[in-house]
Structure formats: C-alpha cells, structure tokens
Amino acid sequence: MTRKYKQRGYMESHEQPKPRAPSRPKEIRSPLMPGMREVFRCAICGTIVPTQFGITVESQCSKCKADLHTCKNCVSFDPQSRFECTQPITERIARKDLRNKCEYFEARKAVERETTTAASKIEDPRAAFDRLFRK
C-alpha cells in the first residue's frame, strides 16, 4: 500500500536525531564597535560626574551645583514604592532632590556606550570648524 501523504517525515521511523556536540558561540565583535562604560549622571542636569572618590553628603554637581547625595541619584529610588524607596525606611523624605543622610544611599550608575574616540576629540573648536567647512 502506498502512502497517502507524500511529505517527508510522515509515517517514517521515529528515531531521535543524534545530539550534536555543543558548539561554542563565536564572538562577533567588530573592532569599530564602541565599548561600554559605567557612568554616574546628575539627576538634575545629566552631567557625567566622576565617582573615583565616592559620593559624600556634601558632594555637588560641577555644572548645576545640585546636591548629589539625594534620593533621585540613588539606586533604591522608585516612585511606585512605599515612601518612594525600595529600602525599609521608617519615614518619607519629602524633597527627593535635596541632600539627605540616608544610610541606604548607593549611587545610581548606568552602563552607556562609548561613542567618542581619542582620535575624534579636537581641543581647538576653530580647528574643528575649519575641518568641517574645508574647501
């Protein structure tokens, strides 16, 4: 008797395929692909703030002079949580952009792409302008 359906796999033996050896994923990364860096930004103006020495209670942003040891710059800040903090604090801090002495403070750092290279940085703005509109 002939098969009713002629597709491959219909009414064939139900043998399990042999498992293949796991292959290592190949790392595909272009040399021109930008790197990643971890940065801390001011919650008010967005300026990158260096954190080599840590953020103290007296720390301020170099650009807008806003306090940095605040709830808005903390990892635990969550507007949907109780008292807007994921840590078990006992009372609400009213102003989230003013400095406080919270013992749970940890600076909120973000991982960003490195979009500039050392070769593209030009110290003299006039030279950059001249290169842009060169004839």
The residue extents of the domains of the chain are 35-114
Give the pLDDT confidence score for residue 95 in this predicted structure.
Answer: 87
d(CA 108, CA 43): 9
When pLDDT is cut at 50, 70 and 90, the band that residue 81 belongs to is confident
pLDDT at residue number 97: 85
Interval 93-106: pLDDT, tens: 888 888 888 888 88
pLDDT at position 103 is: 86
CA dist., res. 95 & res. 9, Å (int)? 68
Identify the pLDDT of residue 122. 57
Helix (H, G, I), strand (E, B) or coil at 122: coil
List, in sequence order, every beta strand (DSSP E) within 1-135. 36-41, 48-49, 109-113
Q: Evaluate if residue 12 carries a pLDDT over 80.
A: no
Query: In this predicted model, what pLDDT tens digit does every residue of 22-76 receive, in sequence order?
Result: 766 666 656 666 677 888 888 888 888 887 777 888 888 888 888 888 888 888 8
Q: How far is residue 101 CA from its own chain's centroid? A: 26
3-class secondary structure, 73:
helix
Residue 121 pLDDT > 80: no
Q: Is 83 exposed, middle or buried (0-12, 13-18, 19+ CB in 10 A)?
A: middle
